[in-house]
Structure 1
Amino acid sequence: MSRKWSQWGMMVPVALVEREHDVQLLRNLLTATFKGHGKIGLVSGAVASGKTELLRSFADLCTDEGALLLNATATRTDRTVPFAVLRQLLDCLPAPAEPLAELFASGVASDVSRTAAAMLLDLSEQAPLVVVVDDVHHADEPSMDCVMRLVNRLRSSRILLVLAESSGDWSVHPAFRIELVRQTQFHRVRLAPLTADGVSEMCSQHLGQDVARHAQEAHRMTGGNRLLVRALIEDHAESGELPGRADCSSLGESFRQAVLTCLRRSGPDELEAARGLAVLDATGSTHRIAEFLGRGPDALRRPLQSLQTLGIIEDGRFRHRLTRAAVYDDLAPQMLAELHTRAAQLLSDCGGSVTDVADHLVAAKHVSADWAIAVLQRAAEESLAADDEEPAIRYIEFALSVCTGERQRALLRMLLVQIKWRSDPEGAVRHLTPLFEAQREGHLDVEQTAYLLRVLMWHGRIQEATELIKHLSCLRPSANEAPSAVLTGVHNLLRHAYPQFIPHGSGGSNHFFDNATTPPGQQAQASAVLSSVLAETAGADERCIRVAEQILQSSQLNDEMVESVCWALQTLIYAEQPVLAERWCDALLAEADTRGVVTWQAALSGLRAEIALREGDLVQAERYAVKALTMIGVGGWGVGVGATLGTLLQAVTARGDFESARRYLREAVPAAMFQTRYGLMYLRARGHYYLATDRLQAALADFSYCGELMTLWQLDSPTFVPWRTDAAQVLLRLGDHEQARALTKEQMTHIGSRASRTYGASLRVLAGTASHRGRLSLLKESVEILQASGDRLTLTQALFDLSCAHEGMGEFGKAQMISRRAGRLAKEGGMRRKQDPALACPEEPVMLHPGQTESWSRPVEETASAADVLTLSERRVAALASLGYTNREISSKLHITVSTVEQHLTKVFRKLRVKRRTDLPVELEFHVASPAC
């Protein structure tokens, strides 16, 4: 082992790992020299391959063996200094060489070479002489002439000449190389880089076995370059990061210096090639790097081969990102800017990727070329198409920093808002004021103004949005149909989301379907069908459902269509098609998750929460709503937070989790939210919380205010917000049965279909105003409708009410059977139970308003699924029987004879192994599409 003083200030012990064969070869040459057979050894290897370490170790061996050692190290500057290397060799002599000093002064090179060679031959007679010249490729020619005189005369002498060269770098002395290689006493020692085992051995010697197991990564990072491996070891000693690990994030100072040392010692060509490769990075081929550097491909081939031998690159790429970082970070800022600008121009001229060109423009930090802005914009759009927002934002922000044209700046800022909207809607807010000013100055067209309006409304910027609405309402359709479609879309948007801001005199009529030959775009279609579903008395007709499905089938999930997709889903939701809406929403949400667009995920999760709530799945509703709010934050939701926060509030309230409900109510919401459709959903949810916590007057106020706004805005659709039955439930609690009945009857006249879940829920509330016998009939009808609609929450509430009604009639067996069924549903939906004094019997809990205490804990029996053993007809009969219907009533409903009913029930009892109706399984309702068919 030898020791070398590190240029980085620490004494690094250097073990000659994997050099046993090379040392033995030099030892054999030394042995032959002692016997009078002069030898020549040429140690050849890449920069930092361990040549110097090997020579020093061998020099110690020579001294120990009694040989006279003369050594010298040539440098790049020695090439132009006559006899620079020879002087170093002679300075090692034990006595000064007076004759040579006079010859050096005379300046006659041939005389000096001849005299020096003769003197060295004479010295070898006294003792074996070992002459070592490191980095001989840098030696001056006069010194090399003296060396060659020795070469020609040392065959029978006791002189061993050991020269060390950098591989492929002796082109400065071609004649000497030819003469040297042809000598019979010549031997080459080729130094190979460390193998993975060698790197492991070095690491284990200095860092221990725990770190040595990561030597494979260190070998891939360094290519076995000893200097680079040693630098990794030094950096680990300082930072504790394991050498070569993929998760190693910092660039150690030792490793950085080692990379630069290898390059500078290799020569200017290698350094220039490495810099070109560092700038071009993945876009650099051999031909492109050569063109970038202004050189021919053939001239670049040797420097690239040298970099490969060094372990810096592999297959034309840097072996490791930290290696590239060492080269890249060493470039001065001005040079870096010039190189990146040149690279951008080169890639643009040769048809390179637009994003690669943009990356170089951004890295240059300043550009003045006119074409740069257009390239940056195209690159942003291309990145956006690949769902990669981060570089898209970087391109546009840089383009804004160098763009001077006001209209161009407005277009870039509009694009930046659209990009930021995908992941950080709240972060786009700071760009709205400059865009609004640009619109005032006429830099935005109609479509861009409409988009700005939607963003301003979403964030509750009412004053600015009102000005834009006024501006757009003054426009008149021209021969160009595009502005007309845009204006139609804006009008429909205002109708279903912001009806309070529809300009006076524009009217509320919808001409969406007037011209079938020239249908508007999908955005206008989606907005129009949603408006139709929400409009007063419009109902959820088949036409709106069909159009919504067509939109979902034909739309791609992208920035232009995501809004239309959400509106189409809302159309299905408020048209009471939850199963259809769920299927589409799950598919779209899966795509949004795969593509990773945050705002799409949040918007679709919010809709999925609303679907789950309408299906009575409170656990899923809460999960999706929390996900939606977490992904972009309450601020990112703008006024739309009313819908998602309202869904979440209603779900946790129904579960009886009032602590969470109070926490969500403390969330700050925009004041402008209450001037939008989204505020209606929040008001309703807050009203149900007040109702569940016995703050009846506050609940009635919220429900009544909902009604006032919905009537004023002509959005009075009970399938959207059934405010009348909500208020009726409060009135029942207050004892005003007459007003509750009137409101419920009024709501039922607004519902288009008697099979609607809203109609079934209205029947349940209406039952609370009826006598015992009338209540029983209404609740049975309500349960049938709700069972078919899939609303498990309201169905559970209706079943508990029906159980209480049977108990009030003294039918305790039926009451127990239905109560057990309701309890199973409540458990599955994550609901808590509470007695409602307005509708329930004194002893039995119901689900109308989740209560203050957990008052019902009857165990639920687990039964095998009936779907596997019963026919459809048998399940229909069994489902009605489980609800307390008599055989004659079942016969009438299903249009079959009483005898057939009895036969079906006999088979049901036998197949399910039960003896009476009260033992029928609780899940029957899930397998009957419509018991009343």
Structure 2
Amino acid sequence: MNTAKNTALHHTLAELRRCLVLLHAKHGNHAVIQRLANGLGRLEIDAADLPGARRGPADEVLPNATPAPWLHVVQQGADGEVAKWALLDDQVEDALEYLELAIRDRTDEVPFELTMMLVRLRFRLSPASVLQQVPALAEAMREGRLHGRGLLWFVRFLVLNGRVDDVAAGLTRLVERMDELDEHSVAELMSTRMWAAYSHPDLARVLPSVPIGSDRSPVDVDAPVRAATALADLVGRELDDAAEDAERVLKEADPVERPGEAVREALHTLLHLEKFHRVKSWCDTFLTDGPESSGPPDWRRELAAIRAQAALRTGDLPAAREYARFALERTASGTSGADIGMALGTLVQASTAMGKLTEATETLALGVPQNLYRAQHGLQHYLFAKACHHLATRQLPEALNDFLSCGELMVAWKVDSPGILPWRTGAAEVYLLLGNQAKARELVDEQLALPVAGPSLSHGTALRIKAATVRPRRRSQLLHQALDELQAAGGQLEVARVMADLSRLHHELGERGRARVTIRRAWWLAKACQAEPLCDELFPDRSRAASRPEANEVEVGPAALSDAERRVAELAALGHTNREIANKLYVTTSTVEQHLTKAYRKLKVTHRRSLPAVMSNDVISTA
């Protein structure tokens, strides 16, 4: 028999073993099952000497010395090896069923290692299902019964779910017994310690350092080490190094496999560096066919929360709302990861900017779990969103108080970066409405002095707000600087706001024609973002109207495009890449390129960056 046929035979035997394990779990020692088991055992004995026989954990569980030995071993407990065998093929549900069977049939005390393995498997399928076991695991950790990779996993679980009271003790025990960890586990320990300090800043002063000697240094290519280094560079404001480390982690991750914690940390690094389009692109890679398709529930929820925040910051309000709602709907009762605070805040901000104030108010009423008050991704995002909602509803004292409280937290936690949350520009807008231009200018000057990594939405927004505090000629210069910065950064809603301010300036200077053209561009961009309150502010008489011209208007520019060309050009104007456009419209990248080429020719432009301004000229009144 050739090798290919041998391999196929062993795969078939493996499937038969799985089926019989499940039959035994449901029906016990039925005579038919025993006969099938005996027959399978004889086949395995005959197949054991053929080339291609599988070796490893399964062979310890399935010794080929007696008929159907695996059934006997499973009945005696199997010490989880059948489950480990199933995990080799990433059959998590099968592994869980095998392990539950092994534990159920034991007559002696269940080893703690098996209990820990059971918890980890259940967590892969349903994070909320393990919450009731957290107190027992925490007690085992304090008593020293939890160690090695099991302890490392539990500490990471505590950090990610905001249960940080025992994190310092767990990390201390891991550091004391580092000799039990392999190189990869040491790398994960470094990453866990860095993420705990970063996501819960008040922990930083009580967490143990991780002493890495030359004999225990993780290999340089290890993703957890690079992810931790990226976070350290971010905190230390080595922004270019942070971006490079984060990108390397993401490029080397396998989107087909379950991405690890290093990927999440790298995405947060890029998010806080204001690399929002990179974050969107990477999230879409890991969420290949939409949020339902990638990884276990907790991972999909985390990705959706990050994707929502990136969409919000680039002005894609519908996507921000969709992904934030997805994340919150997948949040099981009792779980409280820091990404929940981010998703809540994003949903409130997106709903507010879209004019869905009732939805925003109801979301705010949900509040955040008490333990998230110690997590920077929890309380900060909630406070900032509440401030934005107060600003939109003109509750100015409340808005100012929340913006400043958010800033106080960020300064105290040493994470004061506008890429995380631009609290200074929020407070400055309130001061402008209160008539305090000097205080507004002071805050935006502070923000402009902070380092950024390339074109920055927060920098452009600060320039826009500063323009409102200076004379008209200087204002024009600042607004055009803001426009260049925001277009390069890809923040379409902020571009609309700058254009609205430019239109008002043109009107103030008596440049009525330029004012009309600019305000229409602003309105089109706001409409594309579905920012209805801004649309109403710019053209009250067009409230909720479509962007098609009336009968007494002449269509130019985009009117010459076909429907397909228009859809592609609109998405490109909003900053989407060709790949993103292809995914949204269910066409190939080549088709997108062809439509864009035709659109460029008809619109008489040569660069993608010209599209936002040109596409907004679709309505020019002849009245």
Aligned equivalent of 2:276:
578
Q: Does 1:779 align with 2:479?
A: yes
Tell me if 1:396 matches 2:99. Answer: yes
Matches of 2:163 and 2:155, distance apart in 1: 9
What do residues 312-339 of structure 1 show as CA deviations (whole Å, max 9, x unaligned)? xxxxxxxxxxxxx9xx99x886657866
Please name the residue that 2:494 is paired with. Answer: 794
The one-letter amino acid paired with 1:650 is: Q
Residue 738 (structure 1) shift: 1.3
TM-score relative to the length of structure 2: 0.74
> Which among 515, 519, 529 is matched to residue 230 of structure 2?
529
Residue 864 (structure 1) aligned to one of 512, 537, 557: 557
Return the offset for 1:564.
Answer: 1.3
CA distance in 2, matches of 1:663, 1:740: 30
Q: State the Cα distance separating 1:782 from its structure 2 match.
A: 0.7
Aligned equivalents of 1:707, 1:521: Cα separation in 2:
35
Show the counterpart of 2:468.
Answer: 768
- 2:304 corresponds, among 577, 592, 605, to 605
Q: Which of 673, 680, 684 is the aligned partner of 2:384? A: 684
Residue of structure 1 aligned with 2:506, choices 798, 806, 821: 806
Q: How does 1:233-312 map to 2 (within 5 A)?
A: 283=16
Partner of 2:583: none
Find the counterpart in structure 1 of residue 528 from structure 2: 828
AA of the residue aligned to 1:376: V
Match of 2:119 in 1: 417
Q: Which structure shows the higher strand fraction?
A: 1
**CA shift for structure 1 position 763:** 0.5
| Residues 682-721 of structure 1 mapped to structure 2, 5 A cutoff | 682-721=382-421
AA partner of residue 620 (structure 1): A
Matched residue, 1:884: none
Q: Does residue 462 of the first structure (1) align with residue 154 of the second (2)?
A: no
Q: 1:376 to 1:831 in 2, by over 3 A?
A: same
AA of the residue aligned to 2:506: H
User: What is the alpha-carbon distance in structure 1 between the residues aligned to residue 427 and residue 150 of structure 2?
Assistant: 42
Residues 145-175 of structure 1: per-residue CA shift (max 9 Å, x gap): xxxxxxxxxxxxxxxxxxxxxxxxxxxxxxx
Deviates more, 1:728-737 or 1:468-477: 468-477
Which residues in structure 2 correspond to 1:604-683 (within 5 Å)? Answer: 604-633=303-332, 635-636=334-335, 638-679=337-378, 680-683=380-383
Deviation at 1:816, TM superposition (A): 0.9
Deviations 1:744-788 (Å, cap 9, x if unpaired)?
Answer: 100111133573222111101112222333322211211111112
Counterpart of 1:369 in structure 2 is 76
Any gaps of 5 or more consecutive residues in structure 2? 1-12, 550-554, 562-572, 574-600, 618-623
Contact 2:523 2:538 in 1 (8 A): no
Q: In the superposition, relative to structure 1, how do residues 697 and 773 fare at CA in structure 2: closer, same or farther (>3 Å)?
A: same
Distance in 2 (CA, whole Å) between partners of 1:645 and 1:348 is 55
Q: Whose RCO is larger (CA < 8 A, sep 6+)?
A: 2
Q: Report the CA distance between 1:834 and its aligned residue.
A: 4.3
Q: Give the RMSD, CA atoms, in angstroms.
A: 4.7
What corresponds to 1:35 in structure 2? Answer: none
CA distance in 1, matches of 2:249, 2:272: 16
Q: Distance in 2 between matches of 1:560 and 1:783?
A: 40
The one-letter code sitting in structure 1 at the alignment partner of 2:251 is Q
Per-residue CA shift, 1:280-312, capped at 9, x if unaligned?
99739xxx99xxxxxxxxxxxxxxxxxxxxxxx
| Other-structure match for 1:136 | none
Whether the 8 Å CA contact 1:629–1:637 is kept in 2: the answer is: no
Matching residue within 561, 569, 579 for 2:267: 569
Separation in 2 of the partners of 1:671 and 1:747?
30
Task: Flag the 1:399–1:499 CA change in 2: closer, same or farther, 3 A.
Answer: farther
Change (3 A) 1:344 1:706: farther
What per-residue deviation string (whole Å, max 9, x for no partner) do you get for residues 461-485 of structure 1? 2333343245446667899755643
Structure 1 residues 326-353: Cα deviation after superposition (integer angstroms, max 9, x where no partner): xx99x88665786687678668766699
Q: Are the counterparts in 2 of residues 410 and 435 from structure 1 also a CA contact under 8 Å?
A: no
Tell me, which stretches of 5 or more residues in structure 1 are unaligned?
Answer: 1-279, 290-324, 836-843, 869-878, 880-909, 915-919, 928-933
Q: Which is higher, the Rg of structure 1 or of structure 2?
A: 1
Secondary structure of the residue that 1:721 maps to in structure 2?
coil
Whether contact under 8 Å (2:351, 2:357) holds in the other structure is yes
Match of 2:198 in 1: 496
Structure 2 counterpart of 1:845, from 534, 537, 557: 537
Separation in structure 1 between the aligned mates of residue 42 and residue 366 of structure 2, nearest angstrom: 54
Q: Deviations over 1:228-284 (max 9, x none)?
A: xxxxxxxxxxxxxxxxxxxxxxxxxxxxxxxxxxxxxxxxxxxxxxxxxxxx99739
**Equivalent position SS for 2:267:** helix
Verify the 8 A CA contact 1:477 1:483 in the aligned structure 2: no
Matched length: 543
User: Cα 1:522–1:282, aligned 2, differ >3 Å: closer, same or farther?
Assistant: closer
Question: Aligned equivalents of 1:723 and 1:825: distance in 2?
Answer: 24
Alpha-carbon deviation of 1:392? 2.3
Q: Matched residues, percent identical? A: 29
The answer to whether the Cα contact below 8 Å between 1:400 and 1:409 also exists between their aligned partners in 2 is: no
Which string of whole-angstrom CA distances, capped at 9 and with x for unpartnered residues, describes residues 871-923 of structure 1? xxxxxxxx9xxxxxxxxxxxxxxxxxxxxxxxxxxxxxx98699xxxxx9864
Paired residues of 1:645 and 1:664 also in contact (CA < 8 A): yes
- CA spacing shift, 1:481–1:423, aligned 2, 3 Å: closer
Q: Post-superposition shift, 1:381?
A: 1.6
Counterpart check, 1:590 vs 2:288: yes
Indicate conservation of the 8 Å contact 1:626/1:648, yes or no.
Answer: yes
Deviation at 1:443, TM superposition (A): 3.0
Name the CA shift for 1:528/1:281 in 2 (closer, same or farther; >3 Å).
Answer: closer
Asked if structure 2 preserves the Cα contact closer than 8 Å seen for 1:826 and 1:832, the reply is yes
Residue 428 (str. 1) matches residue 127 (str. 2): no
Does the 8 Å CA contact 2:400/2:427 hold for their aligned counterparts?
yes
Alignment of 1:70-109 (within 5 A): none
Contact 1:424 1:632 in 2 (8 A): no
Structure 1 length-normalised TM? 0.51
Deviations 1:622-666 (A, max 9, x none): 112222222344644533201122212211111110111122223
**Cα distance in structure 2, aligned partners of 1:566 and 1:516:** 23
In 1, the alpha carbon distance for the partners of 2:81 and 2:185 equals 28
Q: CA deviation at 1:439?
A: 2.1
In structure 1, give the amino acid aligned to 2:85.
A
Which one-letter code corresponds to 1:544 in the other structure?
Answer: A
Q: Read off the aligned partner of 1:432 and give its amino acid letter.
A: V
Structure 1 residues 521 and 691: CA distance shift in structure 2, 3 A: same
Q: In the TM superposition, what is the alpha-carbon distance from 1:669 to its structure 2 partner?
A: 2.7
Q: Distance in 2 between matches of 1:510 and 1:716?
A: 28
